[in-house]
Structure 1
């Protein structure tokens, strides 16, 4: 089942133990050190020694049980970068490859392939497994564990080679924040004729502004509740900055496409919809924990669509990485030690980072920034 490079199966593989920082039932978002035995390495899988993992809002929603109760310890983290240290005989990567893992670790396997996987839209696969706290549906049992850990095993088609131009800590944020913002801009053909809005200039929004600038959008409007982000928004590619109700009124019917990256319960959907031009799309990327309410006439009178956008396909991820390498797009990050993951989670929850925190397994310094 394994090549000589795979490190062998047998007792050594059965005794393998990975250690990470897990969310626990009733833990109020505080992660605890926890170890588990991974599934045996399959022929198409690789084992990755993790060097970096980004901290995402989704990790916080999950760990604080904002998306529902946690029933068992579970390691979050889905912006993973590391080195392949073991491989199954049919894996597509070699020992030593530098790879990244995002929000999915498996889709349809074998001969029973769903329509979405056939279309190359595997993010909608009926049999997908997300990166943490998700049952595998490949017939081998087990539950996925995420990247706030020393190692992870995934199917090799969900481990993506990282272009040499992108450093490992910078690469991590592309595997959720990057692909989440890149996909809708690609799907809705953002370009020279697009007047684009980005609501929320944070972990997702600051990358969205860079994609838009590289795609040559006609106008790039940063919409933020924080005036102290204005200068940075322009550095990131914005051509206009909006942060009060009067400016929103002045921007009525001015956006062809708008990405909402803000999950706040304070979002004013009526105001956002007032900025949308006829035949435009307001795309939800963040996941608010409270219901979204708005008056239907905003949609009907202008033929405006509110749509969601869910990650991206394997092909989208490869394309995004090449695009980022070519155009010099990089997340602005702050590096922290994995041991400081709880403090990092608190800071992300409070909206402190400018603009993404990346956990580092062997940090050269306790806290450094890249922008």
Structure 2
């Protein structure tokens, strides 16, 4: 296939972009290197991180910025140094485009490049080392990424289902796996939105005995039970919820983060030896104060987890195929990206939006 194609996409030029004010235009991808892959994009999930970045919620964004880090498409150019991808392969890219990958990096050498602090490049809004350019995301026609962070999408999974797994799915899959989700365990999911609905799906796929959805109101109860959860707690509707469910859960995946959330009560749900894992990271990365007695007497652990490595993504996708995991997605044409990001911010997604590039995908 000819490599004479333009890199164009939806660009945010200032924080107002998050309000549906992105503009379509051209951008200059990173300088081509022989370990790179160019992807003709067919699908791109919309993640909450996109909104946070467009609005400079996590710090000053490098504008213009093209967001989108749940990318699926076809490899159309493959560097001479690439061993894992061939032209024509259906491939995907998650939230990370590169780590330092040095032998003396404790994280990269241990297969955890998603925790690398020496040279991580994210799929958008990052500068590559060596003055080779910037990273631009998947609300676009094409993407260029280091092949070591490009994964093959296995047969048996639809592109629109695979896309949101590349960030949203692996963000909860990894901590569930690493904290022992499986037979004999009870898993609680705090906040059943885009991330939380994946946590319910993967907790069940990993064999948890029971999955409990936890949210403020009962409005999502039917959805959460339909996803496979066994029980549902509506914290605003039952003033005794914390007492009734005391020490009943082994693993809590928390997808929300608010200074006002009832963290002490959530921690009280954990059994001795349990784990509370924080994955939600909104604009204000603040949690409520933790009651010292609750912490000391609980015998549990509090931790956090960030995205996943390419190997984690491959493992998760294989599980999704084996267990026929089908996320709840709504596809939107790429041309509607501005409206879709506004709808995401308004909480209308049930439970993930996926943009479809109709130039490259006919269904």
Tell me if both proteins adopt one fold, taking TM over 0.5 as the criterion.
Answer: yes
In 1: Cα distance, 2:178 partner to 2:335 partner: 38
Distance between the aligned counterparts of 2:293 and 2:259, measured in 1?
22
Alpha-carbon distance in 1 for matches of 2:242, 2:324:
31
Structure 1 residues 213, 268: closer, same or farther in 2, change over 3 A? same
Match of 2:108 in 1: 117
Q: Distance in 2 between matches of 1:64 and 1:40?
A: 27
- Deviation string 1:270-296 (CA, Å, 9 cap, x unpaired) is 221221222211111110333212222
- Whether the aligned pair in 2 keeps the contact of 1:177 and 1:203 (CA below 8 Å) is yes
**Which SS does the other structure have where 1:52 is aligned?**
strand
Residues 214-363 of structure 1: matches in 2 within 5 Å?
Answer: 214-244=205-235, 245-264=239-258, 266-290=260-284, 291-294=286-289, 295-362=291-358
Q: 1:284-318 deviations in whole A, cap 9, x for unaligned?
A: 11103332122222211112222100111221111
1:162 to 144, 147, 153: 153
The count of corresponding residues between Structure 1 and Structure 2 is 354
User: Alpha carbons of 1:343 and 1:265: their partners in 2 closer, same or farther (altered >3 Å)?
Assistant: farther
- Once the two structures are superposed, residues 317-364 of structure 1 have per-residue CA deviations (whole angstroms, 9 ceiling, x without a partner) of 111110010001121100101111111111111211111000011189
Tell me the TM-score normalised to structure 2 length. Answer: 0.92
Q: Which moved more, 1:258-267 or 1:150-159?
A: 258-267
- Confirm or deny: 8 A CA contact 1:31 1:342 kept in the other structure: yes
The secondary structure found in structure 1 opposite 2:274 is strand
1:74 counterpart (62, 65, 69) = 65
Q: Find the aligned partners of 1:249 and 1:32 in 2 and give their Cα distance.
A: 51
Match of 2:136 among 132, 140, 145: 145
> Which residues of structure 2 form unaligned runs of 5+?
none
Counterpart residue number, 1:130: 122
Conservation of the 8 A alpha-carbon contact between 2:42 and 2:360 = no
Q: For residue 264 of structure 1, report the CA deviation from its aligned partner.
A: 4.6
Q: Deviations over 1:26-70 (max 9, x none)?
A: 425132223112233211111000011001111111112211233
Q: Does 1:84 align with 2:50?
A: no
Which residue number corresponds to residue 97 of structure 1? 89
SS in 1 for 2:39: strand
Distance in structure 2 (CA, Å) of the matches to 1:281 and 1:112:
31
Check the 8 A contact 1:265/1:288 in 2, yes or no: no
Contact 1:47 1:87 in 2 (8 A): yes
Computed over aligned residues only, the root mean square deviation of the Cα atoms, in angstroms, reads 2.2
Distance in 2 of aligned mates of 1:250 and 1:24: 50
